[in-house]
Structure 1
Amino acid sequence: LVATLEEQEMVIARWAPAHLKGVLERWYWREGRRDYPLYQLWEDFCRYLYLPRLEAASVLQESVAEGVKGRDFFGYAQAREGERYAGLLFGASGTVYIDGESLIVHPEAAAAQLAREQATAPAGGGPAGGGAGPGSRPAPAGEAPPGGGAPPKARPLRRFHGAVELDPLRAGLALGQIAEEVIQHFTRKPDTRITLTLEIAAESTQGFDDTTRRTVVENARTLGFSHAEFEEE
């Protein structure tokens, strides 16, 4: 089915940056907007019928990565820090992520930041604040250079584990809130693998009757429980 839709150009498997630029100019670069969250852009493509249908988030990701190599389409930023774009790519290659902080940036805004940074850069193209002087010994790996300097970057955190106890009378509402406020932040990242396990433990001082046992076991089996059983103790 996907192959058929691709042949009819209903689902896009590869997307040129020029087409993405056209969508941005038509629907997003309005009323002075200068950037837009990438995860929200991907969700828009999934939700709104007037936007192109992309086969996967990676199609958008690859289109952005290709587009930022030049300065004709748009820029990309890892995040926005006040009025500045952190990790700005515009006319340069780099890794593109679709997450809760990354942005696609209007080309004029990206060009303006690069112009400001170039104007304030020290002569010779070195980093602001100066580098190591002639004959100076570089600091050992993992240490800050003498006289100050940026410390080594912290290693990225790649795993999350969480557990919560739920009120059984409000489990449906609580699960919905957990899905909206926690889980969806992981599902927005296309490179994230998520494992969810629901564990249920129930005890009765008088014991469970036959109807309850039969209903629970049958429903659990229908819902795909890996195991569901009653025991004496």
Structure 2
Amino acid sequence: MLDTIAKNGSKPRYRSNRLIFLAADHGALSRLNDVTRIALAWASIVDDVKEGKLNIDLLQKNQAEKELKSAEDVLPRAVRECYKWLLCPVQDAPTDPKSGIEAFALNTTGGGAGAEIERICTDNELVIATWSPIHLRAELKELYWKGGQNTANAAAFFEDTLRYLYMPRLKSREVLAKAIQTGAATKDFFGTAYGQADGKFEGFALGSGSVVFDDTLLLIEPEAARVYEESNRPKAQPASTGQAVIPGPSSGPSYPSPGDTLAGGVVEPGAKPLTPGVAKAKSFFGAAEIAPATAKMRLVQIADEIVSVLASDPNANIRLIVEISAEFPAGASDGVRRAVSENARSLGLKTADWE
């Protein structure tokens, strides 16, 4: 069994941590063999009668079919009673030289075999369907955030859970995605980013709760994330001293004199000087070039931090235009063209042309 865990035929097995074995009980195996032989024997007789290889009377034919049905009814129960052990490969730590096997007895009397296997896996945490960000942080701290390394790629972490026996056996990628989403909502577990270049994190966030689990997602050690956030916080503008500045004779606004004509009429003597008002902005235009790898995350950020703010004014008329441009030096494949065209049509794109 350990050879099966380590190798897939003549090649090394890549996803060893996805294997769980159902094994037979040695004491019940002989009965299963006997029941199987009886069922096969009666099936052979019935087949020979149907094909004309064996001539028997009607009474014998009915008896053979009855015995076959009885044997076939017994066979599933015998199989269930025989295969009563669930074997799970384990390795407590990366430094352990060899992996081991844990055995768990299945209840063979009630419910279906699949439901019983799932119960054993859940009760003994052989397969994890719901994971807390506390455990995710502990795994990252023990195996990834060390030796001067304060980041871990989330997709690589999931691949490692498929491969190494000492890693948690998650039921699916979605289990990790939910743990990341929960942990990203606070500053206690990790920061997130979508790449790192020249000491800068792209799409850095700490405690935002908005995260997209893709191949570029980085999980940052919380203390390192707080230090980075503090070092990149915008500096506060110096406060005003409160002292008035008196303009000189050649500077400052010019006030209308009595008798001057303005758009509203003639300024009367003794009237207060008019302060020119600041014109309000009446339109906004923004454009951004977005990398395809982070498109989903960036579009969500733009919608949350810009579009929603603009829409907070009930008098605002907002119009969004999404422009997509893709070039294929060697030509786009038929599969890509067909999929994109069908998706564009179903999404109602105004234009979706290929050249």
TM norm structure 1: 0.54
Aligned to 2:199: 83
Residues 39-64 of structure 1: CA distance to partner in whole angstroms, max 9, x if unpaired?
11110011110000011111111111
Matched, 1:44 2:160: yes
The superposition leaves residues 55-86 of structure 1 with CA deviations (integer Å, 9 ceiling, x where unpaired) of 11111111111112112211111222321112
State the one-letter code of the partner of 2:190: F
Tell me the distance in 2 between the aligned counterparts of 1:60 and 1:138.
46
Equivalence for 1:199: none
Inter-partner Cα distance in structure 2 for 1:114 and 1:135: 36
Q: For 2:280 and 2:194, how far apart are their aligned partners in 1?
A: 33
- Matches of 2:282 and 2:210, distance apart in 1: 27
Corresponding residue for 1:111? 226
Structural mapping, 1:1-233, within 5 Å: 1=114, 3-4=118-119, 5-99=121-215, 101-118=216-233, 120-123=234-237, 135-140=279-284, 143-144=285-286, 151-154=287-290, 156=295, 163=333
Q: Do the aligned partners of 1:61 and 1:98 also contact (CA within 8 Å) in 2? A: no
Contact 2:190 2:222 in 1 (8 A): yes
- Secondary structure, counterpart of 1:76 in structure 2: strand
SS in 2 for 1:9: coil
Distance, in Å, in 1 between the alignment partners of 2:227 and 2:190 is 12
State whether residues 64 and 76 of structure 1, in contact with CA within 8 Å, keep that contact through their aligned partners in structure 2: no
Q: Secondary structure at the match of 2:159?
A: helix
What's the C-alpha RMSD, in Å, of the aligned pairs?
Answer: 3.1
Give the direction of change, closer, same or farther, for the CA distance of 1:135–1:41 in structure 2 (3 Å limit).
farther
C-alpha change, 1:53 and 1:122, in structure 2 (3 Å) is same
Distance 2:288 2:224 in 1: 30
Amino acid at match of 1:123: Q
Residue identity matched to 2:151: D
State, as a whole percentage, how many aligned pairs show the same letter: 27
Contact 1:15 1:60 in 2 (8 A): yes
The amino acid that maps onto 2:197 is: E
CA–CA separation in structure 1 for the residues paired with 2:231 and 2:154: 24
Distance 1:51 1:138, change over 3 A: farther
Question: Using the alignment, how far apart are the partners of 1:54 and 1:64 within structure 2?
Answer: 13
Unaligned runs of 5+ in 2: 1-113, 239-277, 296-323, 340-355
Distance 2:139 2:282 in 1: 48
Is there any run of 5+ residues in structure 1 with no aligned partner, and where?
125-133, 145-150, 165-192, 194-233
The question of whether the paired residues in 1 share the 8 Å contact of 2:195 and 2:201 is answered with yes
Cα pair 1:10 1:53 within 8 Å, conserved: yes
Distance 2:211 2:132 in 1: 17
- Residue 162 of structure 1 deviates from its aligned partner by 5.3
Q: Which has the bigger relative contact order, CA under 8 A and spacing at least 6?
A: 1
The answer (yes or no) to whether the contact 2:191–2:204 under 8 Å persists in 1 is yes
